A and B are shown apart, each in its own frame.
Chain A
Amino acid sequence: MSTVLEHIDVVEPDEARPAGPAHAAPRRGSERLRVGLALIVIGVAHSLNLAGWPRYFDDEGTYYSQAWSVLNMGSLAPYTYWYDHPPAGWLQMALFSWLPEALLADDVNSDLLAGRILMVAYTLVTALLLYVLAKRLGMARGWALAAMLLWALNPLVVYEGRQVFLDNIALPWLVGAFVLVLDRRRHLGHHMAGGLCFGVAVLSKETVLVFLPALLVALWQSAYRPTRPFAIMGFSAVVAISGSTYLLYALIRDELFPGPDHVSIWDALAFQLGGREGSGWLLDPDGPSDGAYDALSGWLHFDDGVLVVGGVAAALVTLAVRRLRPVGIAVLVVTLVALRPSGYLPQMYVVAVLPFCALALAGLLDVAWRWLMRARTAPVRVISAASMLAALAAATVPLADWRYDYATAWTADTNDVRSATAAYVEDDLPRDATIVVDNTLWNDLVDAGWATEDVVWFYKVDSDGAVMEQLGGDYLGIDYLVWSDNVARNAGPIVVEAYDHSELLRTAGEGDARIEVRRVLPLAEQARIQAVEDEAERQRLEAFLTAPSAEFTDLTNGQIEGIKVDQATLSVPELAAKYVTSQETILTILDE
């Protein structure tokens, strides 16, 4: 047998000494039970009425249709893929979506439901990893559990977490990267695996790149000092290599730099970083509608400031606690980026930071609890523990209104109009017609028998050269239009033109839930309608001219118009003679 010499000091200083075997097993068992129960509660809270609330959103359809396209068309998107986001998010969806699809009955209100079920699965994984991460950050089990529930049961998380967003897909990878980087054994392999997780997270949703400083701080803190450069090098190399596969893909396709007649990663980055219409400043109420301020208001509407404000405040304090510092840095860097005066800030920006807000809050409570428990005498400990718990209970009283949020989430059907519209389209419109829709309908219509190129996402009509070419360059290539609030707000000129030359077939819903199905009129039909309208106008005019005037009963409207015209060439007596009326009448008409 071969062996290696070992120094005596090989005992890991921070390796928790194993608890005595006598009570270790039951304790681990009860921990598993508690975490398992919490996960069940989270799973139920996120999946009740998943198809009914919230309303299906355009982006959900976009990502889901892209996953579908990977599986069924062998391409990264049903349209020209233009590097809007790196594709790892919907590649994962493509990998897993067959499972919920197979389980779902045919009569669900949308194919998107399969995507939402995946999101619940991702949320559960994130929740579990959040618990592990909380423990890695040195929190007691109870507070780790609190962090997990504080995050997952927050109405804002229920709202965002249900929707098919790339951010939700990136989350478990992001939290997992922190878990691996804070590996207790400080193994280089785990640090590199953390880099790989972070790479997948970034390739799922590029915005999580803002967590890099926090991850590096976590790695720096956790790495063994003599081999710290190796940990940093291994982590960074893997992150850089993961990221460069994306650039390499563009390079292989000759789409790294802009050129005529093709998309490029360069253009996409320029658009995402500068070309997009700014959302205004986060705290500026006069910012553009649907801008950053509106996004913030939306977050606060669900969250009541618990994670969004409380988490940021807690993050500032955690900077003073060494073991929690990576969490504080994560939250604060994300906050600073959100507070930049201009630039684009989408509504789902908040998704990735919420788990860290929860960690900051629970982490501080953990610190406070430990501090209180240091008291010498038992009565003091009991009193301080009781008062801390009472204070926490009092703090939750204002959150009683959350019950309405939960009630909505678990019972409201906000997709009834959409599914009725889908049913109408599927029943009444011909399968060879070109229909412009918003992406929430794309998969359902393709599923119902339309060819992929005949269901066109409205956004692409004006932005994708290939689609424009397919439609013949103008609105006349469009047969039908499903018009919703979202389409109205984001439609390009061709789609607006189609709307202007269309007739309403069906409408349902009120306000921003209103959806219209419209038929775009072909030129011949427009001409026919125009001719009918012209004829009607002519007849109306003729009837008017032959009818007796209301004021001068002996004259028709036509004669009165004639008098006005003829006054230039004829005198009053001549006019009176010509129109067989009195000179007084002529004078009265001319006076008017």
Chain B
Amino acid sequence: MVFVSAVLTLVAVALLVIAGATLWWQMHAWSSPRSFRSVGFEVPVRARYSFSLIVPCREETEPVMRATVQRLLAQDHPDLEVILSVGHDDAKPMTDGLSTVEIAQALARRWPTRVKVSINHDAVKNKPRQLNSTLLDCTKEIVGIIDAESLTQPGLLRHVDATFQGTDADVVQGAVHLMNYRDSWFSLRNCMEYRIWFRSRLHGHALSGFIPLGGNTVFMKRALLEEVGGWDGDCLAEDCEIGVRLSCLGKKIVVGYDSRLATQEETPERIPQLIKQRTRWALGFMQVLAKGEWKKLPTRSQRFHAWWTLVQQHAVAFSGIALPLAVLTGFLVDVPPLVVLITFLPLAPTLTMLGFEMLILREWSREMHLDVRPRDYLRLVLSLPFYQLLLAVAVLRAAWKYFTGDFAWEKTAHAGSHITPQLTLVGQQEKAA
């Protein structure tokens, strides 16, 4: 019994630290007036930079690709090119018997001066390899990555341009929002994750001196990319990996957020796709951790933050499994009341976060003019344990793959359910203007 008590106490304290630290990071933006306000883009001025926007595509349908390209071309920026990055083997018929390559070529013919196609001929295909070969075809000063299934907001590029000018940044990370919050039981949770990440957490990471970059709506100076040799072609989290290397070089990474300018994406449609996506991220983070570039960060605090950021999602997955088990053991096994109380402690930050999440949902729905109802709040609460379980499964799966050396790229399919995008207020205003 003493042994059980000791183990329970240790596990509970570990869980408390994990949950507490997660709460602390997630709440960064809302923690003080200063951090609440310091998350925006610079105010647009005269455009100065030119943009190459890479759209990595793999087995995409024509409507998805066309919508993405159209929205990019609609950007009110004078100097941009869109490069559709495809693989030479991507021959699967997607729309009207046309393959992704053929669709891309058709789009390039439609806008010959502004849309290009870059074909990757590597034997092994994945996103970083496609990006690397496409980088060679880029001609402009700044390279931006826009995922095929995402819809950019009007005005984004002007704000990014202004931010490069105003802050002397080397990298500008924009925000991505998932919008189809009612499509499945877990989609709302997924949407909230993105909102919290881009509205709050990422800014906290920026202050700590280490940012795991995202793979969408991220803009980097082309010269810098060429200098560091592009992306790591074997890494499943190439975006995070390049962020680590740039942080180590002391490059200035700026995070800009404005819900009206956030690129809109969709949540995975079904559970297997979500799990595949999360497995890929987790596996990628494990690769980045193992690669050890983060150890080159200059200060101890930065290295600690980097380490914590890379292991944090594994820790969260661990708590998703361990917390209910610990509480249950505490109740069923005959241990002293104090030990049972301690096993309940990690629930405190978890429940507090749940309370905050409801407020975050409220704030988000107001900013984006969404019609969030009481049942959505209910779903947010009820789905928490099951969503945690999914994340835990994904991380376990990733760990399995990691130890068996299976680093194949599992891509998630997109249905384009948000193809009628909910134009946000600024979007409409700027389009009208």
Contact = CB atoms under 8 A, between A and B. Distances in A.
Contact of A186 (B27, B33, B250): B33
Given A12-B34, A188-B32, A241-B348, A5 B39 contact: yes
A7 B341 contact: no
Contact of A227 (B24, B36, B253): B36
A233 interface: yes
Given A5-B254, A237-B351, A248 B344 contact: yes
Contacts of B301: none
Given A3-B167, A3-B206, A9 B351 contact: no
Contacts of A10: 33-34, 37-38
A457 to B, nearest CB: 24
A374 interface: no
A187 interface: yes
19 contacts: A2-B207, A2-B210, A2-B247, A3-B253, A4-B39, A6-B37, A9-B37, A10-B33, A189-B31, A224-B33, A230-B356, A230-B359, A233-B359, A234-B356, A241-B348, A241-B351, A248-B344, A249-B337, A252-B337
Contacts of B207: 2-4
Interface in B341-369: 341, 344, 348, 351-352, 355-356, 359, 362
Contacts of A236: 355
B216 to A, nearest CB: 19
B268 interface: no
Given A229-B359, A237-B352, A241-B351, A3 B252 contact: yes
A473 B47 CA distance: 93
B359 A224 contact: no
Contact of B352 (A5, A9, A234): A234
A25 B255 CA distance: 38
Contacts of B40: 5, 7
Contacts of A1: 209, 250-252
Given A230-B27, A230-B30, A252-B337, A5 B36 contact: no
Q: List the 5 closest pairs (A to B, CB-CB), nearest first.
A: A6-B38, A224-B33, A188-B31, A2-B253, A237-B352
Interface string A241-277: 1000100110011000000000000000000000000
Given A5-B42, A5-B255, A241-B351, 20 more contacts: A3-B167, A4-B39, A4-B206, A5-B38, A5-B41, A5-B163, A6-B38, A10-B34, A188-B27, A188-B30, A189-B31, A192-B352, A224-B33, A226-B36, A229-B359, A229-B362, A230-B356, A233-B356, A245-B341, A249-B337
A234 B209 CA distance: 27
Chain A's interface size range is: 20 to 34
A370 interface: no
A83 B351 CA distance: 26
Contacts of A241: 348, 351-352
A interface: dominant SS: helix
Contacts of B337: 249, 252-253
Interface string B253-275: 11110000000000000000000
B340 interface: yes
B37 A7 contact: yes
Nearest to A6: B38
B30 A2 contact: no
Interface string A1-32: 11111110110100000000000000000000
Nearest to A196: B348
A352 B299 CA distance: 48
B211 interface: yes
A192 B349 CA distance: 11
A238 interface: yes
A359 to B, nearest CB: 26
Nearest to B41: A5
Contacts of B331: 252
A34 interface: no
B203 A4 contact: yes
A564 interface: no
Chain B's interface size range is: 35 or more
A188 B23 CA distance: 11
Contacts of B27: 188, 230
Contacts of B34: 10, 12, 185
Interface of A: 1-7, 9-10, 12, 185-189, 192, 224, 226-227, 229-230, 233-234, 236-238, 241, 245, 248-249, 252-253
A252 B36 contact: no
Which of A5, A7, A12, A237 has the most chain B CB atoms closer than 10 A to its own CB?
A5
A293 B138 CA distance: 88
Contacts of B355: 233-234, 236-237
A248 B203 contact: no
Nearest to B256: A5
B352 A2 contact: no
Contact of B38 (A7, A12, A234, A252): A7
B128 to A, nearest CB: 22
A187 B32 contact: yes
B36 A4 contact: no
A192 to B, nearest CB: 8
A236 B358 CA distance: 14
A234 B27 CA distance: 10
Contacts of B205: 2
A252 B42 contact: no
Contacts of A252: 331, 337, 340-341
A6 B247 CA distance: 20
Contacts of A234: 352, 355-356
Contacts of B42: 5
A402 B344 CA distance: 51
Which of B34, B41, B206, B362 has the most chain A CB atoms closer than 10 A to its own CB?
B34
Nearest to A195: B352
Contacts of B30: 188, 227, 230
Given A188-B27, A245-B341, A5 B32 contact: no
A5 B254 CA distance: 7
Contact of A2 (B163, B254, B351, B362): B254
Contacts of A189: 24, 31
A106 B41 CA distance: 70
Interface in B22-78: 24, 27, 30-34, 36-42
Nearest to B360: A230
B407 to A, nearest CB: 28
B255 A224 contact: no
Contacts of A4: 38-39, 203, 206-207, 254-255
Which of A224, A230, A236, A249 has the most chain B CB atoms closer than 10 A to its own CB?
A230
A248 B330 CA distance: 12
B375 to A, nearest CB: 20
Contacts of A2: 205-207, 209-211, 247, 252-255
A8 to B, nearest CB: 10
Given A2-B211, A5-B163, A230-B30, A224 B36 contact: yes
